[in-house]
Structure 1
């Protein structure tokens, strides 16, 4: 149940009248993220739970307080936590592998050169490293369909910039603090705009408006700028999605 007796995790805390939060860490941690994803699937299936969702390292559970008491649900959750070492859980069995064509640098990634320099590498080497990294959708948040993706190697532990006048287009790929974020819509941002995709993480009116799910894995494969208009017209911006094996 508890990976580190001194850490005090997992924790169960109340959120308002109808919510409980199960926390596996107080900052991002790979094992805690996998624990949250696995625990969400099991706890969310309890008959007393109406909604289950994850953040980077925690699970939010909503229930009907008229039908169930906080203490009763807490007891059930503690029993679940004791059943296994959640920190060693694999990724969800139904997670997918995405390969999303991405144009790096130039007009499609105006901050790539400066970002590579901050990371102590050159632009070509940065593209090679970043375009072959396989990253996990750790959580969806901030805006509809907005994924936090990680983790990159330590060299990419760069701060976000403080110029919020920067606006990025839909499909922009941002980088900071060892993570990518993929913008579903035009937005001001402090993330470093290094590339752009034709992929849309939020598709209003579509049968599946949120194609990415926590636990999915993504590689942002390098594409040529001359191909971008073709990718815009392609389904899912040219992305390929396959079941994980």
Structure 2
């Protein structure tokens, strides 16, 4: 599949299901298509589909292809794909918008200045842009509940660092390739640590252990280290002082 054709590529994944891919690389419209098409398949309630999920630019349908005729299910997928341009489809309703308080720089997030230098901007300008940018959860991966969020402006199309940071703490906000991640748990990373939150993505033992889902949106407003310390001590909900609302 080429970017120009914009024709989704339908492939089987062994006997476990079918992958519908909307682009060769990450872009906003392809991610939009993957989210919207997944919602459309869910609304169809096809009995053969056990579960659906998305990656950055693809929708996966879990289907037992050992017992499901591939031609019949592929025809149904193609028919649904033909009904609209999924790259400009509305995003699914019922998503959540989060405002997550974040400390930028300081000893809590020591690589902000380095990231700003790589991007070619002043650290204060970096904070002003990133803290007001509204990003979407593109996919969940690497660790339970861990979101890849974007896309930021082209300014932040910066590479991963060449080395590896031995560990960043839970709630760390890191940046690379126009995307942000908040870490579920302490972990090594090649992404630069620019902010620190008290937000918990993974909440085992609760009815909804993943706080975020693909399609949710987030803003990371800037707070002081003193505000962060107060939130860390007082907010035991896992929200880390965050507020949220349902998007229509």
TM bucket (normalised to shorter chain) is over 0.9
Deviation at 1:8, TM superposition (A): 5.7
The reply on whether 1:84 has 2:87 as its aligned counterpart is no
Deviation at 1:85, TM superposition (A): 1.2
Counterpart of 2:227? 227
> Deviation per CA, 1:163-222, whole angstroms, max 9, x where unpaired?
224310000000011110110111000000001100010111111100101111100010
1:3–1:85 CA contact under 8 A, matched in 2: no
Deviation at 1:84, TM superposition (A): 1.1
Counterpart of 1:172? 172
Q: Indicate which of 226, 238, 243 corresponds to 2:241.
A: 238
2:15–2:66 CA contact under 8 A, matched in 1: no
1:3–1:87 CA contact under 8 A, matched in 2: no
- For 2:46 and 2:71, locate their aligned partners in 1 and report how far apart those are by CA, in whole Å: 15
- For 1:138 and 1:98, locate their aligned partners in 2 and report how far apart those are by CA, in whole Å: 15
SS at match of 2:121: coil
Counterpart of 1:148? 148
1:151–1:179 CA contact under 8 A, matched in 2: yes
- For 1:46 and 1:37, locate their aligned partners in 2 and report how far apart those are by CA, in whole Å: 17
SS at match of 1:78: helix
> Deviation per CA, 1:103-147, whole angstroms, max 9, x where unpaired?
110112100011111211111111111100000111111111111
> Deviation per CA, 1:13-52, whole angstroms, max 9, x where unpaired?
0101121000000101111111100110122332210010
- For 1:72 and 1:230, locate their aligned partners in 2 and report how far apart those are by CA, in whole Å: 58
Any unmatched runs of 5+ in structure 1? Answer: none
Q: Equivalences for 1:49-198 in 2 at 5 Å?
A: 49-198=49-198
Counterpart of 2:9? 11
Counterpart of 2:40? 42
Counterpart of 2:18? 20
Deviation at 1:162, TM superposition (A): 2.2
Deviating 4+ runs (over 2 angstroms): 6-9, 64-67
Residues paired across the two proteins, number = 243
- For 1:231 and 1:105, locate their aligned partners in 2 and report how far apart those are by CA, in whole Å: 17
Deviation at 1:72, TM superposition (A): 1.6
Any unmatched runs of 5+ in structure 2? Answer: none
Deviation at 1:7, TM superposition (A): 2.8
Deviation at 1:66, TM superposition (A): 4.5
- For 1:142 and 1:108, locate their aligned partners in 2 and report how far apart those are by CA, in whole Å: 23
Change (3 A) 1:59 1:186: same
SS at match of 1:152: coil
- For 2:70 and 2:130, locate their aligned partners in 1 and report how far apart those are by CA, in whole Å: 45
2:17–2:61 CA contact under 8 A, matched in 1: yes
TM-score by length of 2: 0.93
- For 1:144 and 1:192, locate their aligned partners in 2 and report how far apart those are by CA, in whole Å: 20
